[in-house]
Amino acid sequence: SQTIHQWPATLVQPVGSPLSLECTVEGTSNPNLYWYRQAAGRGLQLLFYSVGIGQISSEVPQNLSASRPQDRQFILSSKKLLLSDSGFYLCAWTSGRRQPQHFGDGTRLSIL
Amino acid sequence: DQQVKQNSPSLSVQEGRISILNCDYTNSMFDYFLWYKKYPAEGPTFLISISSIKDKNEDGRFTVFLNKSAKHLSLHIVPSQPGDSAVYFCAASNTDYKLSFGAGTTVTVRA
């Protein structure tokens, strides 16, 4: 069966520090991969998605970037974190169109 | 511009009764709709979906209804159980690979 791993679960970082969140999927090949952010009391905002290695689409202009170095690995990065980057970050995968997206357990990112 | 709206931020229901969650959308190109359930500090879990060629889909205690003319989606949970207390998100997609999510409805099931 397919599983998605996301780490770390919790992260506290100072303003201006770099960021790297990693997500990997097991049990499937060529998944579509997604990064979302959920701000407190809000819905899920799509940040990036990828339909293949090296293919990244950005949904909103921001201080973050994404990369897909391997088929089942998706990384969310920042060179310098801002206070506004705080939130709950979720990685998700799907096997294709009209298929549910399946989410990891998320990373709670706090910027101090 | 929020294309999927859940206008009720919260819902309280007695155990054993029906929970009805509502969702409205504005994009007539949406053709696939989903409901997710989310507990605090966890990722959303897929519950049920429906294609635009159908108007109803049922899975156990969960039934989703789609009214395309009204651009309205609803989720019925019967009977409601304490473990159903969570945040429920409605989502929709069209011809691309992206989902648009509503802001969520917090359901509390009272004993």
Number of residue pairs across A and B with CB atoms under 8 Å? 51
pLDDT tens column, B32-82: 999 999 998 899 999 999 999 999 999 999 999 999 999 999 999 999 999
Residue A66: per-residue pLDDT: 96
Task: Give the nearest partner residue to B43 out of A42, A59, A90, using CB atoms.
Answer: A90
Distance from CA of A91 to the nearest CA of B (A): 9
Chain A interface, best mutation among B4, B24, B62, B97, by max A CB count within 10 A:
B97
Count of positions (residues) in chain A = 112
**pLDDT at res. A1:** 83
The verdict on a CB contact (< 8 Å) between A97 and B97 is yes
Report pLDDT for B66. 98
How is residue A42 written in tokens?
Answer: 């809000």
Does residue B9 carry a pLDDT above 70? yes
**Is the torsion defined by CA of B40, B47, A44, A49 positive or negative?**
positive
What pLDDT, on the 0 to 100 scale, is given for residue B1?
A: 65
Angle at A100 between CA A43 and CA B102, to 5 degrees: 20
Characterize the bridge pairing of strands B10-14 and B105-110: parallel
Task: Give the whole-number percent of chain A exceeding pLDDT 70.
Answer: 98
Report the C-alpha gap between A59 and A82 in whole angstroms. 18
Cross-chain Cβ contact B43/A94 below 8 Å: no
Compare CB distances from A102 to B46, B49, B100 and report the shortest one's residue. Answer: B46
B98–A49 CB contact, under 8 Å: yes
Q: pLDDT tens, A39-94?
A: 776 789 999 999 999 999 998 877 899 999 999 999 999 999 999 999 999 999 99
